[in-house]
Amino acid sequence: MLFDTHAHLNDPAFDPDREELMNGLAAKGIGYVMNAGCSLRSSRDIVKMAEAYPWLYGSVGSHPDSADEVNEEVIEEYRKLCRHEKVKAIGEIGLDYYYEDIPRDIQKNAFRMQMALAKELDMPVIIHEREAHDDGMRIVKEFPTVTGVFHCYSGSAEMARQLVKMGWYIGFTGVLTFKNARKAVETAASIPLDRIVIETDCPFMAPEPYRGKRNDPGYLPRMAEKLAEIRGISPEEAARITTENAKRLYRIEE
């Protein structure tokens, strides 16, 4: 059974056939999905969705694109949502200097406030970090007791090795299957296997040969196959190891 460690099944792209899709995932070998929040509104939707499916978990938090909504009241709402038994992480939080829709200072402030909440509640975090490697690492190091996953990892292999030493997990999407994915492949080849998790980030980031189409957790076996190829192990082994890692990351017992 595979664990999709980062999905957005609440996305409107799934409105036409969501239930059918969700009910078909087990037959495709998908045993668990982490649905990641991006804003207070989507986090609330995600908690409701997680109640309806035993294999579906949720994270709550404001993505850098929604960093301007974060204040003490919003943090208090997240604090309450985190008491729900299906909420297993705070995220996705972090920095995005690629689009930079929100000024950097506001992004950094929202990131720090949510890292502080993770520290207070002793919960793992899901980090979104794009083109902001230096500031991302700096803020992460301000909270040495907080760890989690750098999702859709886009940094260097060297930075990944450093993160692993600090207790972090590294998440790989369908980018791993792209022809120009040299950096992601190099990273996946060089860090300990017990720190690697796989994800779809659906509806975005569909793997080859479906690149550009709507992605969904049913495509996750492609990522396990690609990881197996990179590491010289069987796809079954890649599935077993990444699922164990994901359960350890999100502290899921069963």
Positions that interact with Ni ion (CB under 5 A): 201
- Residue closest to Ni ion, measured at CB: 201
Least distance (Å) between residue 35 CB and Ni ion = 10
The residues, ordered by sequence, that sit 6+ positions from 170 with a Cβ below 8 Å of its Cβ are: 149, 150, 153, 160, 163, 164, 187, 188, 191, 195, 196, 197
How many C-beta atoms lie closer than 10 Å to residue 219's C-beta?
Answer: 21
Of 36 and 185, CB closest to Ni ion: 36
Least distance (Å) between residue 128 CB and Ni ion = 6
Radius of gyration of the chain (CA): 17
Of 151 and 228, CB closest to Ni ion: 151
Least distance (Å) between residue 180 CB and Ni ion = 21
Of 96 and 201, CB closest to Ni ion: 201
Of 197 and 228, CB closest to Ni ion: 197
Residues in the chain, overall count: 254
Least distance (Å) between residue 36 CB and Ni ion = 5
The residues, ordered by sequence, that sit 6+ positions from 50 with a Cβ below 8 Å of its Cβ are: 35, 56, 57, 58, 84, 86, 87
The residues, ordered by sequence, that sit 6+ positions from 167 with a Cβ below 8 Å of its Cβ are: 147
Least distance (Å) between residue 6 CB and Ni ion = 6
Of 65 and 135, CB closest to Ni ion: 65
